[in-house]
Amino acid sequence: MTLNDMRDLVYYDARLHGLWGNTEKASDFEKRVAGAVRIEDEVQEMMDAANDPAHYAEELADVVITCLSTAG
């Protein structure tokens, strides 16, 4: 599986779970801004969890998922 394949799968799963449901009518610029804000929020959550290894790993996974989903 390539990174592009993974990106597409993550994006599809995120759509199924409603992550991008409210952006269908948004412009490409608005979609990029929404993605950047979501990434920033996830990075902040990851940084807040830095002292808890189990929670940090979960938040790091959320960052990766959000980045791949945004790229999709």
**Residue-level pLDDT at 23:** 67
Q: Shortest CA distance to 23 belongs to which of 9, 36, 10?
A: 36
pLDDT in tens, 40-70: 999 999 999 999 998 999 999 989 988 988 8
Give the C-alpha separation, 53 to 29, whole Å: 35
pLDDT-derived band at 33, boundaries 50, 70, 90: confident
Q: Shortest CA distance to 62 belongs to which of 48, 9, 13, 45?
A: 45
Main-chain phi, psi angles of 54, to 5 degrees: -65, -45
